[in-house]
Structure 1
Amino acid sequence: MRYIAYARVSARRSGTVRSFRSTPVTQSRCSAQSQLARSPMARPPLDIGKHGEVTLTKLAPNKWRARCRVRGLNGVTQRIQRDTPAHVARDSHGAAAKASLMEAVAAFVQLDGGGDGEVKPTTELHQLVVLYLADLDKSDRATRTRDTYHRVAALLVGALGKLRVQEATPRRLGGVLEKLAKAHGATTAKQAKTILSGVMANAVREGATLRNPVRDMDPIRVTPRNTAEGARRVLTGPELGELLYQLDNSIAPLPTLKSAKKDHTTRTVSQWAKDIDLLDPITLLAATGLRRSELLGLRWQDYDPKARTLRVCGHVIRSNRDGLIREASTKTVSSARLVPLPAFAVDMLDRRRDESLRPSAANVEKVIFPSETGQYRDPDNLAGQWRRIRKAIGFEWVSLHDFRHAVGTLLDEAGLSARIGADHLGHARVSMTQDVYQARGRVHHAAAQAIDAAIRR
Structure 2
Amino acid sequence: MSRPRLEPGTAGDVEIFGLYLDGAKWRTYGKDKPQPKRWEQVERWRARCYYRGHDGVRGEVSRQIDGGRRKATVVAEATDAVNRAVAERLDRHGVIGGENMPLVEAGRQWLDLVDRPDSGLSEATRTAYRGAWSRHVDAAGSSVRGLTLAEVNRPPVLRRLLQSVADEHGTGSAKMTRSVLSGIIGQAVNDGVLAANAMRSVKPVKAKDGQSRQRRKSEDERDTERALTRAEREEILTHADTLAEAKTWHRVGRKAQTTADLLHFLAGTGVRIGEAWDLRWEDLDLDGRSVRIRGTKTQGSRRTLGLPDWLCERLRARVEREDTSGLVFPAPAADDPERPWDRSNSSRAVAAVLRSAGYGWATPHVFRRTVATLLHEAGMPLVKIADQLGHADPSMTMREYLGRTWDNADDDLSAHL
TM-score tier (shorter): 0.5 to 0.7
Shift of residue 197, structure 1, vs aligned partner: 1.6
Shift of residue 169, structure 1, vs aligned partner: 4.0
Aligned to 1:136: 114
Residue type at the aligned position of 2:230: L
Whether the 8 Å contact between 1:227 and 1:233 is mirrored in structure 2 is no
Matched, 1:310 2:273: no
Residue type at the aligned position of 1:153: W
Residues 1:216 and 1:348: Cα distance change in structure 2 (over 3 Å) = same
Shift of residue 339, structure 1, vs aligned partner: 3.6
Whole-angstrom CA distance in 1 between matches of 2:161 and 2:194: 19
Q: For 1:146-201, what per-residue CA distance to the aligned partner results, in whole angstroms no more than 9, with x for missing partners? A: 45534543542553243654873434311122223445554443222112222332
Residues 1:188 and 1:370: Cα distance change in structure 2 (over 3 Å) = closer
Residues 1:427 and 1:165: Cα distance change in structure 2 (over 3 Å) = farther
Aligned to 2:217: 228
Partner residue of 1:365 out of 307, 326, 330: 326
Matched, 1:244 2:234: yes
Partner residue of 1:176 out of 161, 168, 189: 161
Aligned to 1:438: 401
Aligned to 2:411: 451
Whether the 8 Å contact between 2:301 and 2:390 is mirrored in structure 1 is yes
Shift of residue 358, structure 1, vs aligned partner: 0.6
Matched, 1:341 2:319: no
Residue type at the aligned position of 2:153: A
Matched, 1:153 2:168: no
SS at match of 1:340: strand
- Equivalent residue runs for 1:25-424 within 5 Å: 125=103, 128-140=106-118, 141=121, 145-146=125-126, 148-154=128-134, 155-156=136-137, 158-160=142-144, 161-162=146-147, 164-165=149-150, 168-183=153-168, 185-206=170-191, 211-220=196-205, 223=212, 226-228=215-217, 232-236=224-228, 239-244=229-234, 247-248=237-238, 276=257, 280-305=261-286, 308-313=289-294, 331-334=296-299, 337-341=302-306, 345-350=308-313, 352-353=315-316, 356-360=319-323, 365=326, 367=328, 371=332, 375-376=336-337, 378=341, 383-384=347-348, 386-390=350-354, 394-410=358-374, 414=379, 416-417=381-382, 421-424=385-388
Shift of residue 202, structure 1, vs aligned partner: 2.9
SS at match of 1:404: helix
SS at match of 1:301: helix
Whether the 8 Å contact between 1:289 and 1:404 is mirrored in structure 2 is yes
Q: Which has the larger radius of gyration?
A: 1
Whole-angstrom CA distance in 1 between matches of 2:112 and 2:333: 37
Residue type at the aligned position of 1:338: R
Residues 1:177 and 1:285: Cα distance change in structure 2 (over 3 Å) = same
Whole-angstrom CA distance in 2 between matches of 1:402 and 1:153: 28
Shift of residue 285, structure 1, vs aligned partner: 1.3
Whole-angstrom CA distance in 1 between matches of 2:361 and 2:198: 41
Q: Percent identity?
A: 23
Q: For 1:282-327, what per-residue CA distance to the aligned partner results, in whole angstroms no more than 9, with x for missing partners? A: 33211211233432443332123465421123xxxxxxxxxxxxxx
**Could you tell me the TM-score, scaled by structure 2's length?**
0.53
Residues 1:128 and 1:401: Cα distance change in structure 2 (over 3 Å) = same
Whole-angstrom CA distance in 1 between matches of 2:327 and 2:223: 41
Residue type at the aligned position of 2:143: A
Residues 1:431 and 1:123: Cα distance change in structure 2 (over 3 Å) = farther
Whether the 8 Å contact between 1:132 and 1:199 is mirrored in structure 2 is yes
Q: CA RMSD in A?
A: 5.0
Whether the 8 Å contact between 2:166 and 2:172 is mirrored in structure 1 is yes
Whether the 8 Å contact between 1:334 and 1:423 is mirrored in structure 2 is no
SS at match of 1:357: helix
Q: For 1:20-76, what per-residue CA distance to the aligned partner results, in whole angstroms no more than 9, with x for missing partners? A: xxxxxxxxxxxxxxxxxxxxxxxxxxxxxxxxxxxxxxxxxxxxxxxxxxxxxxxxx
**Could you tell me the TM-score, scaled by structure 1's length?**
0.49
Whether the 8 Å contact between 2:155 and 2:201 is mirrored in structure 1 is yes
Q: Structure 2: give runs of 5+ residues left out of the alignment.
A: 1-94
Whole-angstrom CA distance in 2 between matches of 1:382 and 1:227: 26
Shift of residue 348, structure 1, vs aligned partner: 3.0
Residues 1:172 and 1:290: Cα distance change in structure 2 (over 3 Å) = same
Q: For 1:375-414, what per-residue CA distance to the aligned partner results, in whole angstroms no more than 9, with x for missing partners? A: 5584656555555554665544333221122234445664
SS at match of 1:219: coil
Shift of residue 244, structure 1, vs aligned partner: 1.4
Whole-angstrom CA distance in 1 between matches of 2:348 and 2:204: 33
Shift of residue 218, structure 1, vs aligned partner: 2.7
After the TM superposition, which of the residue ranges 275-284 and 186-195 deviates more from structure 2? 275-284
Residue type at the aligned position of 2:226: V
Whether the 8 Å contact between 1:358 and 1:370 is mirrored in structure 2 is no
